[in-house]
């Protein structure tokens, strides 16, 4: 425990999360993965947006940015491109990532920029007290879905994969060792990595949907998921309606900021006389 505490800003504790919230478990899994990799605290930068999940960065002892709603990946893109040697991590929620930030999410995946995005998916907007999100399953309740949600939800991992993310995994706040493993692998992937961490919100999701408290919610999560490896053996009949967890996609490709650095090398070799030629550049740009 003491080893893990050194990754936290202890003057910031206690945290603001509700009793029984799963976000602390996910945050713990992240620092354990960082610890396992032995990354220097000075070379890791963690970026978040707005929402319950995004408060995590305030508690972590790295260079951290708590940005505007939905924009964490865009801020992180600037940081990573400006300083590719840093390990850049985004901590976001289902609303922050899949609703208001959806566009940045798919484009970061398309670019395959070296950012590890951890989506704490509690299927609801917790910070604003229980509205349905793009990850709320159809038929479930939220304060803005008083008669049941009529919208379909995203499969965020499929979305990430289709958009070009090169590492995609899903675990939950129940399956903690798996979650640590996935984050550990994701951090080692050079491109855009996504780990969806299904997390429980007893205060709103649990109450609104009569699932119960934290323990019942964790059981609900456990029963609703199946490991991708086990699913292959069980067959489609037994896994119907279950959410797959485990490593879902691992297909490394060249990483965007490394490609850009290569471009710089190429351009600089071509224009090696550029020094002092500041004013030369506007000549033929019409």
- With residue 184 as reference, give the H or E element that holds it: helix 176-188
Beta carbon nearer to another protein, 2 or 284? 284
Question: Closest distance between another protein and the C-beta of residue 272, in Å?
Answer: 9
DSSP 216-280: HHHHHHHHHEEEHHHHHHH-HHHHTTPEEEEEEEE-----HHHHHHHHHHHHHHHTTT-TT-GGG
Beta carbon nearer to another protein, 15 or 207? 15
Beta carbon nearer to another protein, 49 or 169? 49
Residues, the chain, total? 286
Beta carbon nearer to another protein, 39 or 243? 39
Q: Which residues bind another protein (CB under 8 A)?
A: 9, 11-12, 41-43, 45, 47, 57-58, 61-68, 71, 74-83, 85-86, 103-104, 107, 260, 263-264, 267-268, 271, 274, 276, 278-279, 281-286
Question: Closest distance between another protein and the C-beta of residue 20, in Å?
Answer: 23
Question: Closest distance between another protein and the C-beta of residue 261, in Å?
Answer: 9
Helix-, strand-, coil-residue percentages of the chain, each rounded to 5 = 45, 20, 35
Query: 110-121: string of b/e by CB count within 10 Å (b at 16+)?
Result: ebbbbbbbbbbb
Beta carbon nearer to another protein, 22 or 49? 49
Phi and psi, residue 136, nearest 5° = -75, 125
Question: Closest distance between another protein and the C-beta of residue 10, in Å?
Answer: 12
Integer Cα distance of 223 and 28 in angstroms:
23
Integer Cα distance of 43 and 247 in angstroms:
26
Question: Closest distance between another protein and the C-beta of residue 233, in Å?
Answer: 40
Q: Residue 84 has which token pair?
A: 């590719």
Question: Closest distance between another protein and the C-beta of residue 144, in Å?
Answer: 22
Rg (CA), the chain: 20
Beta carbon nearer to another protein, 67 or 203? 67
């Amino acid at each position: 425990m003491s080893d893990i505490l050194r990754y936290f800003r202890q003057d910031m504790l206690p945290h603001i999360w509700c009793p029984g919230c799963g976000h602390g478990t996910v945050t713990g899994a992240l620092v354990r993965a960082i610890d396992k990799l032995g990354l220097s605290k000075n070379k890791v930068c963690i970026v978040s947006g707005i929402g319950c999940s995004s408060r995590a960065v305030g508690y972590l002892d790295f260079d951290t940015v708590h940005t505007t709603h939905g924009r964490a990946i865009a801020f992180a893109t600037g940081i990573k491109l400006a300083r590719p040697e840093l390990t850049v991590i985004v901590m976001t929620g289902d609303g922050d990532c899949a609703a208001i930030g959806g566009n940045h999410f798919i484009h970061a995946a398309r670019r395959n920029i070296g950012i590890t995005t951890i989506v704490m998916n509690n299927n609801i907007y917790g910070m604003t007290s229980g509205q349905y999100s793009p990850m709320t399953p159809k038929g479930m309740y939220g304060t803005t879905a008083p008669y049941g949600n009529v919208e379909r939800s995203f499969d965020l991992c499929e979305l990430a994969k289709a958009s070009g993310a090169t590492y995609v995994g899903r675990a939950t706040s129940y399956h903690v060792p798996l979650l640590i493993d996935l984050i550990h692998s994701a951090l080692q992937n050079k491109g855009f990595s996504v780990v969806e961490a299904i997390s429980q919100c007893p205060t709103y999701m649990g109450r609104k949907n009569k699932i119960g408290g934290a323990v019942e919610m964790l059981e609900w999560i456990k029963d609703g998921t199946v490991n991708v490896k086990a699913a292959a053996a069980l067959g489609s009949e037994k896994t119907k309606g279950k959410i797959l967890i485990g490593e879902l996609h691992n297909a490394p490709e060249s990483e965007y900021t490394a490609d850009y650095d290569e471009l710089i090398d190429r351009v600089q070799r071509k224009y090696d006389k550029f020094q002092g030629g500041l004013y030369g550049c506007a000549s033929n740009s019409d």
